[in-house]
Structure 1
């Protein structure tokens, strides 16, 4: 079973994450940030990854620490569930439209973390979240999951639609990348025989 379970506790946040890469898209998410909950539910549903998140953070300050640490914990749980990454397809990509917005995500589960973020917002906030925090979540996730992640909103006007298309595109790309390749289920998808470091 490709499952991950992470407990992350700091002076700023307390976070528990459980996930199953081979699930059916079931979720139970409670971060204290309504819009982030909504996005993580989309991530679970469209990746078919079962996801449980329970987070308590210093929201009396702002949502930054909780958002970032949730990204770290989910990324760590994905990395744990992948193990040595043997047999995975490794690459995934998706275009996801949401009304007027269109986002493209390309993902490599290379164990070499990197984020390219080409997303612009029209406003400073969505719900209780600062718009800049979405990049922080994707950065934290990519770093902890060991993912090279390119996220680009090609166009869009409504910030809600833009963000939701980003999370849904990540979900679809992740779903493809974690799939076991039946032609090479016994091998790490790299000429080196391991993922991480140089090509």
Structure 2
């Protein structure tokens, strides 16, 4: 969750995960930034976690939920610009020391439409001001990768009732520049 514009690539503004000040932890066993106990393997077993970020209609706090467990929330007072949005984003990021190869993202493979190959978000949904929930249409998606030789992203739209709207991403990393 990004509480401010990140026009400087998070150098002085913006934040993510547990690095956002003000998060109120309510579940002691699960926390932001925690490693997942099981990870999917390319072509092998696939593990999923249902994660949501929703705004409480009464308090206006932003709740982070894993499955049916409320992990905690960001108080509404932290955000001055989240009453409505023109853009919503899903994504991933890697980080390494300058001059060293970037680590892989996801499974380390590029998006190819096969859910057992690359990392994905499924049932990627947005809720409008009236409370209507929907998956974005393909013409509303703007995939972006700043290092296409190392990482990719593809939106596959609606893939049926089980998968819903699917956004797949990842890549091998490597020498991606600064």
TM-score normalised to structure 2 length: 0.30
TM-score normalised to structure 1 length: 0.28
Higher strand share: 1
Which is higher, the Rg of structure 1 or of structure 2?
Answer: 2
Instruction: Using CA pairs under 8 Å that are at least 6 residues apart, name the structure with larger relative contact order, 1 or 2.
Output: 1
